[in-house]
Amino acid sequence: MFHRLIFDDWVVIFPLIAFITAASVYVSLTWRALRMRPAQINHFASLPFNDESSTTASRHDDAE
Amino acid sequence: MSAQKITVEYNDKVVRQFMLAAIIWGVVGMLVGMIVASQLNYWQVNFNMPWLTFGRLRPLHTNAVIFAFVGNMMFAGVYYSTQRLVKARLGSDFLSALHFWGWQLIIVAAAITLPLGFSRGKEYAELIWPINIAVALIWVVFAVNFFWTLARRHEKSLYVAIWFYIATIITVALLYIVNHLSIPTSVLHSYPVFGGVQDALVQWWYGHNAVAFFLTTPILGIMYYFLPKAAERPVYSYRLSVIHFWSLVFVYIWAGPHHLLNTALPGWLQALGVTFSLMLWAPSWGGMLNGLLTLRGAWHKLRTDPVLKFFAAAVTFYGMATFEGPLLSIKSVNGLAHYTDWIIGHVHAGALGWNGFMAAGMFYWLAPRLWNKPLFSQSLANLHFWFGTVGILLYVSAMWTSGITQGLMLNSTSEHGTVLTYPNFIETLNTIRPMMLFRVVGGGLYFVGWLLLVYNIYRTIRGAQAVNGTIEVFVEDDKTADERLGLGGAFLNPPVVFSVMGTLSACAWMFGGDFLKLAGLFGTATCVILAWAHFEARKNRWGAWYDRLLVSVMPFTVLVFIAVAAGGLIQIIPTALVNRPENVEDRRAIPYTPLELAGRDIYVSEGCNNCHSQMIRTMVPDVLRYGDYSRLGESIYDYPHQWGSRRTGPDLARVGGKYPDVWHYRHMENPRAISTGSNMPNYPWLFTAKTDVDALFAKISVQRTLGVPYPKWTDAQIKEDVAAQEKTIVDGLRAAGVESASDRKIIALIAYLQKMGKFETVAPAKTAAR
């Protein structure tokens, strides 16, 4: 269709490259995540809690 | 060591503002959705008015839902959770206000310009260039405000939700800017800098990742914050959330080409899109299971707590939609589903189920906390849930049935694949009409549910006092400075150095010449061995780098940016460099005459691509129905491309010359007079409005800049050319018994329609080295 400059014969290799790239990412990140210390995990997982101690009325100029 | 206790008051005003805006725009977006769905069943709902036609309202619906409804919801969730996760007030009250009001102004501008027919002609990117600039500026305001907040944080660790927000901010900026690069021809009109296949690739890189990074990653961040809060237990597996984040960020960005399967897009890109789409199954389902399992031990609460009900259903719909997405990316499945209602069902499972239900759950959870008053009615919220759930299921099942039915009918052949079983397109449309009606019923139920939310929230906040959250924190001398990475430290460390060297060597190995190939192979092997040896010897350094990365915002952001940019650039750069008119083989488009160009701009302005594709796929049924498959070069001068994504009407790639001019004239006047049962609107204004010939000089100049081989015509020459072609068409119409003034839009549109599918043959290219 247009100049077969570089790619036509390479089609088959792209899924392989894609797989190797993604597999490397999965493996290294899974390894990294599994290596996280329990204390570290608990610290991160509890971050959404204890994030608010009270509420205060919105200031007068803050009124919607 | 000195420590000081201070009280931080969160800026919840902007959260309330964004939340209320999302609720209101949700009503607008869904209402317009109901209207456009009804128009597909009853053409009369177009009311013969230009600003109420399907082609103009459908972009309003999609933009309202994506940018107004989900956008405002996302900003509310991001601002609420970020402040609390980092224990700091937003960076700037002024920027927060500017962000809110600027975004609403953009939405209003979109709501005015889209129905008026000002469109760039690209899906989810229709807004005209001045609004594009405003969006980019307000997004920068959001980014500055967000990162400023992180810079002021009193919690050094960055929870995974923050990672998702960072990925959202930088990726959306990248996508939006690249896909909206345009050259203006006037204050309200521009042409994109990419044309034809380049434009298609960039558009769907953007379109796919708008779903990924606007409708998914920020909502996942919201899920990781609000779901544990509502369930009152930490996320099921923080480790899994880490894997979920990184694998999504690395993989999602590559999958865009799955929107262009079986088209003229080069095969290597299609293969890449399919492969990465299939790989998305793993992270998406990992995240979905992580969300659902967070409810372990809290399932009993679902019976009574509407917030958890909404969250659980939303995460389930996320799982369903992310299962369906890769499935639809399999080439053979896509051959059946693409251009049909199956895709519409798929996106609505995500938009209504995932985004809409996450929004509802979040708002029911937020309202009592932001106004310090219990929710007006739990029962009403539960009723909303059931209205919504039944509505989605009706909608989605109707669209699945409709899509598969129409896909099967359109692709069905007999006589050993040589004859179409259903040659008349309208027959397939009439078969799916009952399903299209069920879609309106399903959407209607969902909309009623949303109105219940509006009433419930209104009664909750009426007369209530708005409150802001506060927290007391101990501010110590900054001990964390040593733990953070500088920008240099982000790159000059073993994992990054070995990865970069390994990647470069692998590229040389794959794409280099004889010597480079060998050097690349050697380099790759050396990098792997050295990295392994270094890792074994200095394990702590590798681990410490990652730990420090998690408390270092800017290095983290830069690395995420590189991860997402790589996926896009690897696809776009070769396409932009190679797919040029001079490289095209076989067939090349003939540049449009000035009148045809004016007609094309009318086609774009009316949003015809919302129903008609211009891409005959490399599939036997497509070729039997519409003619020879579309070649890459045939749309090379199309700024913007109009390949389309849905066939409510037939493909138009080769409609030129298929019918006489008078057929098109009568068809645009009243489609049903030509094609019984058609649901296409009438276009009476095209017979009275005049073609904007004066604008053509600037338009052709810009097209010339973009590479279309137009001569350097003067304004007078352009007008002369237009008049001559108009006269030819009008004379032909007169001979067929129709009188028309020559300067009407319909004449320009006919000129364009008759040009479609015309091409010049190009000599086969010399392929050196072969």
The answer on pLDDT for B770 being more than 60 is no
DSSP secondary structure code for residue A57 in this structure: E
The answer on pLDDT for B365 being more than 70 is yes
pLDDT at A10: 59
The answer on pLDDT for B69 being more than 70 is yes
Cβ atoms of B726 and B743 within 8 Å: the answer is yes
Cβ atoms of B22 and B76 within 8 Å: the answer is yes
Q: Which of A2, A26, A64 sits opposite B584 (nearest CB)?
A: A2
pLDDT at B478: 58
- If one counts every other C-beta atom within 10 angstroms of the C-beta of residue B551, the result is 17
Dist CA B43 CA B40 (whole Å): 6
Mean pLDDT value of segment B551-576: 82
The answer on pLDDT for B507 being more than 50 is yes
Dist CA B738 CA A13 (whole Å): 58
Q: Do B247 and A26 touch (CB under 8 A)?
A: yes
Mean pLDDT value of segment B246-267: 90
For chain B, the distance separating the N- and C-terminal CA atoms, rounded to the nearest angstrom, is 73
Q: Range with the lowest mean pLDDT among A11-25, A32-46, B658-672?
A: A11-25
Dist CA B647 CA B609 (whole Å): 9
Q: How confident is the model at residue B643 (pLDDT cuts 50, 70, 90)?
A: very high
Dist CA B658 CA B661 (whole Å): 10
Dist CA B330 CA B388 (whole Å): 30
The answer on pLDDT for B303 being more than 80 is yes
Cβ atoms of B288 and B319 within 8 Å: the answer is yes
Q: Which of B157, B266, B468 sits opposite A58 (nearest CB)?
A: B468
Q: Do A14 and B272 touch (CB under 8 A)?
A: yes
Place of tokens 């219990």: B374
pLDDT at A4: 45
pLDDT at B325: 95
pLDDT at B103: 98
Cβ atoms of A18 and B272 within 8 Å: the answer is yes
Mean pLDDT value of segment A34-54: 83
The answer on pLDDT for B652 being more than 50 is yes
Cβ atoms of B308 and B295 within 8 Å: the answer is yes
pLDDT at B2: 64
With CA atoms as reference, the chain B residue closest to A32 would be B543
Q: Do B578 and A57 touch (CB under 8 A)?
A: no
Q: How confident is the model at residue B569 (pLDDT cuts 50, 70, 90)?
A: confident
The answer on pLDDT for B190 being more than 90 is yes
Q: Range with the lowest mean pLDDT among B83-92, B169-178, B368-377, B535-544?
A: B535-544
Dist CA B319 CA B289 (whole Å): 8
Q: How confident is the model at residue A63 (pLDDT cuts 50, 70, 90)?
A: very low
Length of chain A, in residues: 64
Question: Which tokens belong to A15?
Answer: 């899924």
CA A26 to chain B, closest CA, distance in angstroms equals: 6
B11 versus B555: the higher-pLDDT residue is B11
Per residue in B579-620, pLDDT (tens digit) is 777 778 788 999 999 999 999 999 999 999 999 999 999 999
B536 versus B186: the higher-pLDDT residue is B186
Q: How confident is the model at residue A3 (pLDDT cuts 50, 70, 90)?
A: very low
Prior bond of B640 cis (ω within 30°): yes
Mean pLDDT value of segment B119-135: 96
Whose CA is closest to B111, among B51, B161, B188? B51
- Residues with Cβ within 8 Å of B763's Cβ and at least 6 positions away in sequence, in order, are none
Dist CA B609 CA B694 (whole Å): 25
Q: Do A18 and B279 touch (CB under 8 A)?
A: yes
Give A43's contacts in chain B (Cβ within 8 Å): 157
Q: Do B240 and A33 touch (CB under 8 A)?
A: yes
pLDDT at A5: 43
Mean pLDDT value of segment B300-309: 92
B721 burial via Cβ count (<10 Å: 0-12, 13-18, 19+): middle
Half-sphere exposure of B90 (CA within 13 A, CB side): 28
Dist CA B504 CA B54 (whole Å): 49
Q: Which of B161, B243, B466 sits opposite A63 (nearest CB)?
A: B466
Mean pLDDT value of segment B610-632: 95
Strand, helix or coil for residue B646: strand
Give B372's contacts in chain A (Cβ within 8 Å): 55
Q: Are strands B586-589 and B759-762 parallel, antiparallel or unpaired?
A: antiparallel
Q: Which of B81, B468, B765 sits opposite A55 (nearest CB)?
A: B468
- Residues with Cβ within 8 Å of B566's Cβ and at least 6 positions away in sequence, in order, are B253
Give B633's contacts in chain A (Cβ within 8 Å): 1-2
The answer on pLDDT for B558 being more than 80 is yes
Q: Which of A18, A52, A54 sits opposite B272 (nearest CB)?
A: A18
Phi, psi of B759 (to 5 degrees): -150, 165
pLDDT at B431: 95
Dist CA B173 CA B365 (whole Å): 30
B175 burial via Cβ count (<10 Å: 0-12, 13-18, 19+): buried
Give A46's contacts in chain B (Cβ within 8 Å): 234
Q: How confident is the model at residue B494 (pLDDT cuts 50, 70, 90)?
A: confident
- Residues with Cβ within 8 Å of B558's Cβ and at least 6 positions away in sequence, in order, are B487, B490
Dist CA B330 CA B186 (whole Å): 42
pLDDT at A57: 80
pLDDT at A54: 74
With CA atoms as reference, the chain B residue closest to A30 would be B243
Q: Do A1 and B631 touch (CB under 8 A)?
A: yes
**E strands within B122-199?**
182-184, 190-192
For chain A, the distance separating the N- and C-terminal CA atoms, rounded to the nearest angstrom, is 61
To the nearest whole number, what is the mean pLDDT of chain B? 92
Q: Do B157 and A49 touch (CB under 8 A)?
A: no
Dist CA B224 CA B84 (whole Å): 13
CA B356 to chain A, closest CA, distance in angstroms equals: 23
Half-sphere exposure of B556 (CA within 13 A, CB side): 24
Cβ atoms of B605 and B645 within 8 Å: the answer is no
Q: Do B159 and A41 touch (CB under 8 A)?
A: no
- Tally C-beta pairs within 8 A across A and B: 161
With CA atoms as reference, the chain B residue closest to A61 would be B13
What is the gyration radius of the CA atoms in chain B, in angstroms?
28
Cβ atoms of B101 and B141 within 8 Å: the answer is no
Per residue in B511-525, pLDDT (tens digit) is 777 788 888 888 888
Q: Do A44 and B160 touch (CB under 8 A)?
A: yes
Mean pLDDT value of segment B73-86: 97
Give B578's contacts in chain A (Cβ within 8 Å): 2-3, 5-7
> Which neighbouring-strand residues pair with B760?
B588
Give A47's contacts in chain B (Cβ within 8 Å): 85, 155, 157, 159
Give B770's contacts in chain A (Cβ within 8 Å): 4
Whose CA is closest to B163, among B520, B552, B609? B552
pLDDT at B86: 94
Testing the interface with A: which of B223, B279, B632 to mutate, by most A Cβ within 10 A?
Answer: B279
Dist CA B118 CA B604 (whole Å): 9
Strand, helix or coil for residue B3: strand
Which H/E stretch holds residue B759? strand B759-762
Amino acid at the residue A11:
V
Q: How confident is the model at residue A41 (pLDDT cuts 50, 70, 90)?
A: confident
